[in-house]
Structure 1
């Protein structure tokens, strides 16, 4: 008799496996191994991936229950298109001179983070958003601040992290790579915007993140799989209506605004299927893309 895996009715009642302490080591078994002759493998509730379409993926979902962290210039939480933040923090110098995260007012001196957050909210209005300010003027910031802010977001266990920024400094590549891999294995999915110029930058080029570039169509739910990475997906990023400080709204263009469209879609999927891993979630994004062809040749119907 076959059974269909079901999602727990209360997935937050106990910590999911990726947020628990590391298992105790079994003597005589290599590190990371499990002595299944002495302890049965833990059952794991999953969402079956057969017959994936958009209705299955996120039909009826609004992002509720999903925690998103926007690592950027800050977010104006009082903006009507944001509707408040769960938390706002910034990277500051501690008493010992090192970088630490401290609570701050939900403001955005430049607008970039507010714009990204508003796109996420427009796609998934039920998400909970936290702002981590690592950029000071919308363009500049230190690589160390980015590392500190990203590490904090991963360790806090956010489901999704929107990174509409990157660094071209190769000296930060190794540390960023380690952080993105840490996030991947802790079921924290990073959605990273590709650089707006054809230059080498990070972390969007890493395989453990979802990398996003723009397309020029107006539908916010239209996105495409790119069969020629490193940019894996294309989402709306041209003349996008976004929130701006002071309660304003402007239109802006860039890969920065394509990434939060995918972040919002990921939030919808996780809202409906909360036990998906980053690997599964990226697979669903691929299967539900507008240009993905099914085995019999028909394409997805919008």
Structure 2
């Protein structure tokens, strides 16, 4: 039996008891402090903010066969440090992640060299991140070696587009029964998550583990 595709979700952790989460597909992960040091490992880093759980649910909806490696860099708010993100990317690569989901980003260009170094240290993983925020290039999503993701509200959640070297997906997460879409979390975070889910599903269906082969398959889908 082929090894499952592993998707690292760098976010606020995950709540395994949430009804949209399949806990049997969660691997023990990490929590990383703002200084980039590991503060927790070998356990499921619990989500106190809800964002990481919603992102993970969106990925699992599209790729239920994939394993999820949760890495928490957001603790008390949806704010993290560049050092934490860089450490998380390296930890994900070291754990053998095939896909690294970054439903986050920064427009601070000063962080470009640091992020570029981290992405270069993960050559075997497909890193997905937001390409821009309000028209401003976002890091690390606009860097070479990262698959940038764009947002289109008119795309059905069941599909994606490939446009100018980017994956374009809906910004609506997995719906909550009885809750209007605009009352739920939504935005570029979930376009990235859904793009990661589509990538994991195609990787599983076609048994693609090589980054270049998966990129080729996504661009032709």
> 1:149 Cα shift?
1.2
> 1:169 Cα shift?
2.9
SS of equivalent residue, structure 1 residue 69: strand
Residue aligning to 2:215: 282
Provide, for residues 24-43 of structure 1, a one-character-per-residue CA deviation record: whole Å limited to 9, x for no partner. xxxxxxxxxxxxxxxxxxxx
Structure 2 length-normalised TM:
0.86
Matching of residue 77 in structure 1 with residue 16 in structure 2: yes
Match of 2:82 among 143, 148, 160: 143
Residue aligning to 2:145: 208
**Distance in 2 between the 1:157 and 1:98 partners?**
19
Distance change (3 Å), C-alpha of 1:98 and 1:86: closer
Residue aligning to 1:99: 37
Distance change (3 Å), C-alpha of 1:98 and 1:253: closer
Residue aligning to 1:123: 62
Counterparts in 2 of 1:1-302, with a 5 A limit? Answer: 10-11=1-2, 65-84=4-23, 85-92=26-33, 99-103=37-41, 104-183=43-122, 185=123, 187-217=124-154, 219-227=156-164, 232-238=166-172, 240-241=173-174, 251-288=184-221
**Distance in 1 between the 2:21 and 2:2 partners?**
26
Larger of the two Rg values belongs to structure: 1
Larger helix share, 1 or 2: 2
SS of equivalent residue, structure 2 residue 133: coil
Following TM superposition, where does structure 1 have runs of at least 4 consecutive aligned residues deviating by more than 3 angstroms?
240-243
Provide, for residues 4-47 of structure 1, a one-character-per-residue CA deviation record: whole Å limited to 9, x for no partner. xxxxxx555xxxxxxxxxxxxxxxxxxxxxxxxxxxxxxxxxxx
Q: Structure 1 stretch 201-210 or stretch 100-109: which is displaced more?
A: 100-109
Structure 1: segments with no counterpart, 5+ residues? 1-9, 13-64, 244-249, 289-302
Provide, for residues 213-261 of structure 1, a one-character-per-residue CA deviation record: whole Å limited to 9, x for no partner. 111136322211112x6xx1210114x3357xxxxxx623211100111
Question: Does the CA contact (< 8 Å) of 1:76 and 1:107 recur in 2?
Answer: yes
Distance change (3 Å), C-alpha of 1:98 and 1:267: closer
Q: RMSD across aligned C-alpha pairs, in angstroms?
A: 2.2
Q: Structure 1 stretch 123-132 or stretch 217-226: which is displaced more?
A: 217-226
SS of equivalent residue, structure 1 residue 125: coil
Distance change (3 Å), C-alpha of 1:200 and 1:193: closer
Provide, for residues 40-71 of structure 1, a one-character-per-residue CA deviation record: whole Å limited to 9, x for no partner. xxxxxxxxxxxxxxxxxxxxxxxxx1111100
**Distance in 2 between the 1:179 and 1:147 partners?**
6
**Distance in 2 between the 1:144 and 1:174 partners?**
12
Structure 1 length-normalised TM:
0.64
Structure 2: segments with no counterpart, 5+ residues? 177-182
Distance change (3 Å), C-alpha of 1:257 and 1:251: same
